[in-house]
Amino acid sequence: MCPAGATDCHVHVYGPNNAFPVAATRAFDVPEALPSSLSDLLDMLGIQRVVLVQPSGYGTDNSRHLTALKEVGRPARMIASLRSDVSPTELDRMHKAGVRGVRYTIGHAGAAPIAEMPELAKRIAEFGWHVQLHVMNDGSGNALVEMEKALENLATDLVIDHIGSIHPAGGLEQRGFAALLRLLETGRCWVKLSGAYRVSKAPPYEDMMPFVEKLVAANPDRLVWGSDWPHVAFKGSMPNTTDLLDQLMAWIPDETQRHRILVGNPATLYGF
């Protein structure tokens, strides 16, 4: 049973397509995954808070997820995708709606340009937002190595999706994971314990255990968990979301640390 205030920090919703058309720049076709379905799932899991993340399938049209903030039936926050010329009025409107960060994706042609990240970070810092980074590459984490100094110098905190998309086959000493640890140790970087099914084999993703242990040892106050529901753009063995929550129990056997990751850390990061 999840503790009171448990938070899923990484989900998406999709559809209906006639009301919220997908972007022409999408890299994959999206399913219908309505806020009502998400709400039912979260109720089943005992998760009381949620963070909606703008996916590449909608480009920089944030309307589907802004609307969903009112439809998921629980305290909710959102991470948007924005261009650097977004107006101050729009930023204020989004903040009042529940937006708390801006997401960038490395490796997706339709995403907001990474070059705009430092400029927009300065603007959203005034709202207490953060930059969220999704690395879509070969799993080496080399993008983190190449961008490490720039990421350290952002005007905001940084949140890195899916354990940096690091592939466990590369080992603990791989350069990308070393960069991830260094960023985490700064105290201004957060890492989502999510998306393991994309780089590992099957629950409980035991080959990721050493990586999680290193992250916990580096800075347990900067780790959060997300299911990545509804698991789009994935062609492997589709995970059961309940298994992904059980996976956290295996990864983090200490109840106090799990409570921090599920409740305390998200409350700090997203202002619940």
Token couple for 10 = 């990484």
Other Cβ atoms less than 10 A from the Cβ of 157: the count is 20
Nearest to 85 by CA among 98, 102, 69: 102
* Residue-level pLDDT, tens digit, the chain, 272 residues: 799 999 999 999 999 989 998 887 776 777 899 999 999 999 999 999 999 999 988 989 999 999 999 999 999 999 999 999 999 999 999 999 999 999 999 877 667 899 999 999 999 999 999 999 999 766 667 899 999 999 999 999 999 999 999 999 999 999 999 999 999 999 999 999 999 999 997 777 899 999 999 999 999 999 999 999 999 877 777 788 888 998 998 899 999 999 999 999 999 999 99
With a CB cutoff of 8 Å and minimum separation 6, the contacts of 24 are none
Q: Report which DSSP code applies to 33.
A: B
**Identity of the amino acid at 237:** S
pTM exceeding 0.85: yes
Nearest to 65 by CA among 91, 37, 97, 23: 97
Domains plus CATH for the chain?
7-270 (3.20.20.140)
State the residue for tokens 């808070």: 49
Nearest to 145 by CA among 175, 101, 168: 175
Task: Give the active site residue among 92, 221, 228, 254.
Answer: 228
- Among this protein's residues, is 207 annotated catalytic? no
State the residue for tokens 């309307």: 63
Alpha carbon 116 to chain centroid distance? 20
